[in-house]
Amino acid sequence: MTEIILENQPAGYVPPKVWSPKTTYGGQFGNINSPVSGARFERDLPVGKHPLQLYSQGTPNGQKVTILLEELLAAGHTDAEYDAWLIDIFKGDQFGSGFAAVNPNSKIPALVDQSTSPVTPVFESGSILVYLAERFGAFLPTERRARTETFNWLMWQMGTAPFVGGGLGHFYAYAPLKIEYAIDRYAMEVKRQLHVLDTHLASHEFLAGDQYTIADMAVWPWQPGSLYGVYNTHEFVAVEEYKHLLRWYKAIAARPAVARGRIVNRTSGQPGTFLLERHAAADIDSALQAK
């Protein structure tokens, strides 16, 4: 086992007693990551005409919020109109002073509710989902058991998928070298998560039972959404063997609001699969017509 591990490591590497950053790193995010927080340059955030201002990118975490916003609009909540501004994390937009003021953690998505006085900044995708669901009284049950079940799965997603699914995606797709141990470690846990979902969905229509909630919107872009999408690991972890999970995944994908929300702030893809910014419903209409 030691020989196998050493074959997948930089020759002669021994962790130092105290870690310090290198001057250069490989990989797609090597020149962006830093061990300190805070703004790196001055840039104000744009503000549109709608009550809700979203600053995001169409990653799995970003899709959660745009899907909920489109579901709210489809349900008749006209006050859920929003401007979605692109924060290109590959270019480091998240380190601008305006964005860092809304989210000191410099991660997308971030939301500003302009309808309150003073305005309300909201960051972390799960917090944004809860804020919007409570603001509009939708997609978050009021009955205690169903509400708790929704939070169970929302917190499960927040605490597992981005780290584990993102960890697999990083070492599988983005890391400057393939490290067998790291890929195997994350693949093992991703498979376990897929089995957790598949087992639960064998006896439940949605994650919280018979109600479609923000928990479904949170999990869907990640498991198995990210495995099909940004990381292209679906074949590697054999997603197709989880039949109950796929039944749920396809049912949610067929919802018109999901089809609309999933393309917002996406930066690449085939025609009809991405839309850099959204400022009116017509923006999505035009993009989808390009399919």
Question: What domains can you pick out in the chain, each with its CATH number?
Answer: 52-139 (3.40.30.10), 144-254 (1.20.1050.10)
Reported confidence tier of residue 197, pLDDT bands at 50, 70, 90: very high
Nearest-angstrom CA–CA distance, 133 and 290: 31
pLDDT digits (tens, 9 = 90+) for 215-262: 999 999 998 877 787 788 899 999 999 999 999 999 999 999 999 999
Task: Give pairs for 250-253: CB < 8 Å, separation 24+.
Answer: 252/212, 252/216, 252/220, 253/220
Q: How many CB atoms lie within 10 A of CB 287?
A: 20
Nearest-angstrom CA–CA distance, 127 and 144: 19
Whole-prediction pTM: 0.93
Instruction: Enumerate the H helices of 31-143 as residue ranges.
Output: 60-74, 97-102, 125-136
pLDDT digits (tens, 9 = 90+) for 9-29: 667 778 889 999 887 776 666
Among residues 72, 115, 84, the alpha carbon closest in space to that of 212 is found at 72
Nearest-angstrom CA–CA distance, 230 and 110: 20
Strand ranges inside 27-149, DSSP E: 52-56, 82-86, 110-113, 120-123
Two structure tokens written together for 226:
């990210």
